[in-house]
């Protein structure tokens, strides 16, 4: 029987030689017709002579043309073994698929077209993304506004939690970096979003009012969605005319808000809510006068002074130099938020939205008075020392005058005696 098999094998080899059929070698790409296909393996008829099989990890069915194969379909595969345990060609879709995937990535970079990636993991810097089993990275900075983790206070654990929620999702992205040598691919979702935003933004101009809904709140402002999924930012300084410590004090996500477009920079839109409100500072000079004593609530204590609420819309600043306390004292020990104090208006500038205050009445502290006394004592001591110095300077002169007088008297006396002897 063994002799018979060897004889048939030899005859088969002769037939191959007669028809000039080349036996595929490892690394070759062959084209075959699907004979059978399942989730675990695909069998190919190669040139009507050889049978090839693709199985396990070599199926690589993430490439569209390798998925949903059926009998009769023609497909390419790479040879990874000329003969397996069953005498078949061991083939791979994975090797061919990877090269096809790289080609698509190269073309997408060149054309600036989009591809879809699957999010497989996340870290604090962004999302680990996969295109046809080729790994890349989608940084946080390249996420579209809808997916950007805007977490109030910048809590890193909450940011990571938000990023982790995207694992398993598919994102449409562009490619901004492709380095095959370093196996480095950087994707951008923001670029795709920007391209879609541009046409929608063309109908908007600076000064146009919009009705929107707050989508996110941060320490520096609120994000507002309006129109055809356009998003703009209202900076904290543009939310209201008065000073605000945190936007969350006034708004919550989902609130409706009216605003005015104040800037469009590419696809970045900046809005102002206070532009649509009457400026209370226009009447501030009529309501408050220099020298007027007013009652105010201390909102915040800073090293340079106090922020003081005079009414719901006008806030003033009492500079540290206007609070009359000693150098050894701390402003945080003397004043606390929510305290009510009387202040005197010392300056007002409605155009600059500024109002200066000082502590009203004789609020000089004991330390300040002691300091004044010390200064007075020092001045008195300096004066006394100056007198002493001046006195010390005068002494030699007086001594010199006395000495001169004595010498003169002595000369007079000698002259008188000489005159008597002559007589």
pLDDT tens-digit series, residues 185-225: 999 999 998 888 888 888 899 999 999 999 888 888 999 99
Residue 370 · residue 326 · CB < 8 Å: yes
The pair of three-digit structure tokens given for residue 67, joined into one six-digit string: 């998925």
* pLDDT, tens digit (0-9, with 9 covering 90-100), for 200-211: 888 899 999 999
Q: Stretch 125-132: mean pLDDT, rounded?
A: 92
CATH 2.40.50.140 location in the chain: 28-111, 112-193, 203-276, 280-364
* Beta bridge partner(s), residue 8: none
Q: How confident is the model at residue 97 (pLDDT cuts 50, 70, 90)?
A: confident
Which residue in 26, 48, 44, 23 sits closest to 34, CA to CA? 44
What architecture does CATH give domain 280-364?
A: Beta Barrel (2.40)
Tell me which of 171 and 99 has the higher pLDDT.
171
Side-chain-facing half-sphere of 163: CA atoms under 13 Å = 23
Does domain 112-193 fall into CATH 2.40.50.140? yes
Q: Where are the alpha helices (DSSP H) in 59-169?
A: 93-111, 156-164
pLDDT of residue 126: 94
Q: Report the predicted TM-score, pTM, of the whole model to 2 decimal places.
A: 0.57
Q: How confident is the model at residue 399 (pLDDT cuts 50, 70, 90)?
A: very low
User: 287: how many CB neighbours lie within 10 A of its CB?
Assistant: 15
Give 346-355's long-range contacts (Cβ < 8 A, gap of 24+).
346/290, 346/322, 347/290, 348/284, 348/285, 348/288, 348/289, 348/290, 350/281, 350/282, 350/284, 350/285, 351/281, 353/241, 353/281, 354/316, 354/317, 355/284, 355/288, 355/310, 355/314, 355/315, 355/316, 355/317
* CB burial of residue 385 (10 Å; 0-12, 13-18, 19+): exposed
The DSSP secondary-structure symbol of 280 reads: G
pLDDT at 326 over 70: yes
CATH (residue range 203-276): 2.40.50.140
CA–CA gap between residue 47 and residue 30 (Å, rounded): 9
Q: 3-class SS at 125?
A: coil
* pLDDT, tens digit (0-9, with 9 covering 90-100), for 111-127: 999 999 999 999 999 99
Q: 3-class SS at 164?
A: helix
Which residue in 265, 155, 154 sits closest to 201, CA to CA? 265
Homologous superfamily assigned to 28-111: Nucleic acid-binding proteins (2.40.50.140)
CA dihedral 194, 195, 201, 203 (to 10 degrees): 180
């Amino acid at each position: 029987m063994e002799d018979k098999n060897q004889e048939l094998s030899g005859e088969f080899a002769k037939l191959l030689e007669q028809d000039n059929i080349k036996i595929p070698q490892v690394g070759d790409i062959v084209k075959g017709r699907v004979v059978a296909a399942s989730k675990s393996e695909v069998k190919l008829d190669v040139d009507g002579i050889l049978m090839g099989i693709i199985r396990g990890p070599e199926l690589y069915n993430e490439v569209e043309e390798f998925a949903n194969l059926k009998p009769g379909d023609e497909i390419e595969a790479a040879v990874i073994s000329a003969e397996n345990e069953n005498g078949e060609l061991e083939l791979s879709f994975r090797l061919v698929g990877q090269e096809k995937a790289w080609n698509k990535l190269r073309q997408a970079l060149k054309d600036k077209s989009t591809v879809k990636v699957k999010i497989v993991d996340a870290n604090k810097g962004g999302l680990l993304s996969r295109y046809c089993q080729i790994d890349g990275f989608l940084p946080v900075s390249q996420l579209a506004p809808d997916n950007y983790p805007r977490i109030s206070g910048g809590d890193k654990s909450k940011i990571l939690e938000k990023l982790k929620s995207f694992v398993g999702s598919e994102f449409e992205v562009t490619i901004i970096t492709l380095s095959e040598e370093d196996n480095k691919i950087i994707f951008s979702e923001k670029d795709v979003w920007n391209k879609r935003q541009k046409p929608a933004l063309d109908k908007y101009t600076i000064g146009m009012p919009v009705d929107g809904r707050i989508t996110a709140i941060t320490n520096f402002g609120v994000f507002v969605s309006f129109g055809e999924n356009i998003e703009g930012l209202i900076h904290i300084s543009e939310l209201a005319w008065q000073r605000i410590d945190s936007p969350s004090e006034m708004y919550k996500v989902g609130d409706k808000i009216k605003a005015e477009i104040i800037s469009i920079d590419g696809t970045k839109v900046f809005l102002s809510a206070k532009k649509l409100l009457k400026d209370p500072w226009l009447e501030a000079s009529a309501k408050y006068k220099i020298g007027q004593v007013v009652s105010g609530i201390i909102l915040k204590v800073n090293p340079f002074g106090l922020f003081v609420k005079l009414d719901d819309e006008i806030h003033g600043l009492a500079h540290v130099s206007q609070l009359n306390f000693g150098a050894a004292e701390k402003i945080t020990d003397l004043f606390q938020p929510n305290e009510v104090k009387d202040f005197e208006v010392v300056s007002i500038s409605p155009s600059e939205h500024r109002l200066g205050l000082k502590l009203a009445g004789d609020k000089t502290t004991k330390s300040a008075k002691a300091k004044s006394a010390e200064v007075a004592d020092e001045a008195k001591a300096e004066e006394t020392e100056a007198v002493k110095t001046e006195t010390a300077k005068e002494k030699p002169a007086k001594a010199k005058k006395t000495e001169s007088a004595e010498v003169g008297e002595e000369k007079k006396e000698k002259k008188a005696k000489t005159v008597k002897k002559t007589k």
